Amino acid sequence: MNYYSLHHTAPNVSFKEAVIRGLAPDRGIYFPEKITPLPKDFIENINRYSHEEIALHAIEQFVGDAIPKNVLKNIINETLSFDFPVIPIEENIATLELFHGPTMAFKDVGARFMARCLGYFNRNSTEKVTVLVATSGDTGGAVANGFLGVEGVDVVILYPSGKVSEIQEKQLTTLGNNITALEVDGVFDDCQDMVKTAFLDTEIKRTLTSANSINIARWLPQMFYFFFAYKALHKQHKNIIFSVPSGNFGNICAGIMAQKLGLPIQHFIAATNVNNTVSNYLQNGEYVPQKSIATISNAMDVGNPSNFIRIQELYNNNLETLKKHFSSYSFTDAETKSAMKLLFNEHQYVADPHGAVGYLGLKKHNLKNAYGVFLETAHPVKFLPTVESTLNQKIDIPSQIKEIMTKEKKAITISNYKELKHFLMR
Ligand SMILES: *Cc1c(COP(=O)(O)O)cnc(C)c1O
């Protein structure tokens, strides 16, 4: 399987090269040349397959011969070593909980899969690959954990000093081994700028790659969730609609890929906070990227979602086709908090702010005879102060978080690009 750049001015590349590069040389993101629907009887008999078998079916064609089947099976088994429960909330609404992985955020699956692919590709190389990431909190933890101990890969994470939660900081800074945390005297945008500069700096001789949802190995495994939810629900419920709390739109775009593979999904809702570039576009046909606005669902504070171009490609760049299958609604922090309270008071469900935005997406859409599933993308403990103050309720701290809180923080402080470059050129 080969991949082309959505800027259409770079050569097509293999799965391996697309994973190592992350972004094409023309700065476009990669997209598969061909998407072949899965056999009908696989979808009809999905009940008979384990999560691991479903995942293998879904992703096999995209990996092609870049990874031997037995290795790919191992990668999938290691990636999926936790649960993906579907919890009923209301008569026609359920939530798909994606936070049962090691860092309690849905990005665990993509990060673990990508890490293992990269480890495999680099297995015989004497030169290490360095994954360089800037994080505003959530991504960094999942990436750090996913890549921990993977041979041949070093991870360098930049985070803004004093701007991430205590739990998030512990998740970034206590792992050691092949993970280095750089504490930046600045804000998230400074971290992001430094990372971008490093990628363009030809004096740095290390192989640098990124680990955000631009990378196909982080994006594609997110298809699995939609298959798992369908497996859990399809006997009792028809006409399934997914509402996906969206920031860079990688997760929802993976859902649309699952639909392309033949999974019978009736409709997609991209639920966002006030960063509403996409819902504006659906309304008036003009795509105008915005500067991001800070909200309580901060993993979705994105003004120019990087995967939206993939969604357009999946719908043949036709706005009318897109609108038939896809809606997007935007919600304020006040609405999000009300939804969190309602879910807790009426349904005894503690949602994090992102999941609550997903729930709002379903409430706004007319479900008619459909069954709505919103994705719960992070455990409420990841957004502890907001959740506790909104619900006026203490949240139990899960054991994997308690354990990390006792570990010692190790970070290198940097304050400008020169210091980052110095670190990368050691
Ligand atoms: C990253 C993230 C999102 C947004 O996912 P995208 O794929 O970027 O749309 C939503 N919720 C949480 C908790 C996240 O960490």
Ligand 1 centroid vs 127 CA: distance in angstroms?
32
Contact 374, 93 (CB under 8 A): yes
Ligand 1 centroid vs 357 CA: distance in angstroms?
11
The atom number, within ligand 1, closest to the CA of 99 reads 13
Would you place residue 104 in the very low, low, confident or very high pLDDT band (cuts 50, 70, 90)?
A: very high
For range 319-336, the mean pLDDT = 97
Q: Which residues make beta-bridge pairs with 376?
A: 97
- Per-residue confidence (pLDDT) for residue 189, from 0 to 100: 80
Tokens, residue 45: 């008999």
Ligand 1 site-directed mutation target among 168, 248, 277, 383, most atoms within 8 Å of CB: 248
Task: Please state, in angstroms and rounded to a whole number, the distance separating the CA atoms of residues 54 and 48.
Answer: 10
Strand extents, DSSP E, 99-151: 129-134
The atom number, within ligand 1, closest to the CA of 378 reads 13
Task: Decide: residue 240, CB within 10 A, 0-12 exposed, 13-18 middle, 19+ buried.
Answer: buried
**What does the pLDDT look like over 25-82, one tens digit per residue?**
898 999 999 999 999 999 999 999 999 999 999 999 999 999 999 999 999 999 999 9
The residue whose CA has the least distance to atom 14 of ligand 1 is 299
Would you place residue 224 in the very low, low, confident or very high pLDDT band (cuts 50, 70, 90)?
A: very high
- b/e sequence 402-414, b meaning 16+ C-beta within 10 Å: eebeeeeeebeeb
Ligand 1 centroid vs 249 CA: distance in angstroms?
8
Task: Please state, in angstroms and rounded to a whole number, the distance separating the CA atoms of residues 57 and 353.
Answer: 33
Contact 358, 340 (CB under 8 A): no
Task: Please state, in angstroms and rounded to a whole number, the distance separating the CA atoms of residues 215 and 219.
Answer: 6
Q: Of 3.40.50.1100, 3.40.50.11260, 3.30.70.120, 3.10.50.40, which CATH number belongs to 84-104+219-396?
A: 3.40.50.1100
The residue whose CA has the least distance to atom 1 of ligand 1 is 299
- Per-residue confidence (pLDDT) for residue 138, from 0 to 100: 79
Task: Please state, in angstroms and rounded to a whole number, the distance separating the CA atoms of residues 322 and 308.
Answer: 11
- Per-residue confidence (pLDDT) for residue 166, from 0 to 100: 87
**What does the pLDDT look like over 131-178, one tens digit per residue?**
999 887 778 899 999 999 998 999 999 999 988 888 889 999 999 999
- Per-residue confidence (pLDDT) for residue 53, from 0 to 100: 98
Ligand 1 site-directed mutation target among 95, 96, 138, 215, most atoms within 8 Å of CB: 138
- b/e sequence 172-208, b meaning 16+ C-beta within 10 Å: bbbbeebbbbbbbebebebbbebbeebeeeeebebeb
Tokens, residue 83: 């649960």
The residue whose CA has the least distance to atom 8 of ligand 1 is 248
Judged against a pLDDT cut of 80, whether residue 101 lies above it is answered with yes
Q: Which residues make beta-bridge pairs with 96?
A: 86, 375
Q: Percentage of the chain with pLDDT > 70? A: 100
Strand, helix or coil for residue 326:
strand
Judged against a pLDDT cut of 80, whether residue 120 lies above it is answered with yes
Q: Is 394 a catalytic residue?
A: no
The residue whose CA has the least distance to atom 2 of ligand 1 is 299
Exactly one of 16, 34, 73, 107 is catalytic; which is it? 107
CB-based pocket (< 6 A), ligand 1: 105, 107, 138, 213, 245-251, 299-300, 354, 377-378
Contact 182, 159 (CB under 8 A): yes
User: What does the angle CA 133 – CA 33 – CA 58 come to, to the nearest 5 degrees?
Assistant: 75
Q: Percentage of the chain with pLDDT > 90? A: 84
The atom number, within ligand 1, closest to the CA of 249 reads 9
**What does the pLDDT look like over 353-400, one tens digit per residue?**
999 999 999 999 989 899 999 999 999 999 999 999 999 999 999 988
All residues at 6 or more sequence positions from 318 whose CB lies less than 8 Å from its CB, including other chains:
none
Q: Locate tokens 């040349």: which residue? A: 33
Strand, helix or coil for residue 189:
helix
Task: Decide: residue 138, CB within 10 A, 0-12 exposed, 13-18 middle, 19+ buried.
Answer: buried
For range 257-268, the mean pLDDT = 98
Helix residue ranges, H only, 236-307: 250-260, 277-284
Task: Please state, in angstroms and rounded to a whole number, the distance separating the CA atoms of residues 362 and 89.
Answer: 12
Task: Please state, in angstroms and rounded to a whole number, the distance separating the CA atoms of residues 257 and 263.
Answer: 9
Ligand 1 centroid vs 401 CA: distance in angstroms?
20
Ligand 1 centroid vs 205 CA: distance in angstroms?
32
Task: Please state, in angstroms and rounded to a whole number, the distance separating the CA atoms of residues 60 and 77.
Answer: 14
* Average pLDDT score, the chain: 95
The pTM of this model reads 0.95
Domain locations along the chain: 84-104+219-396
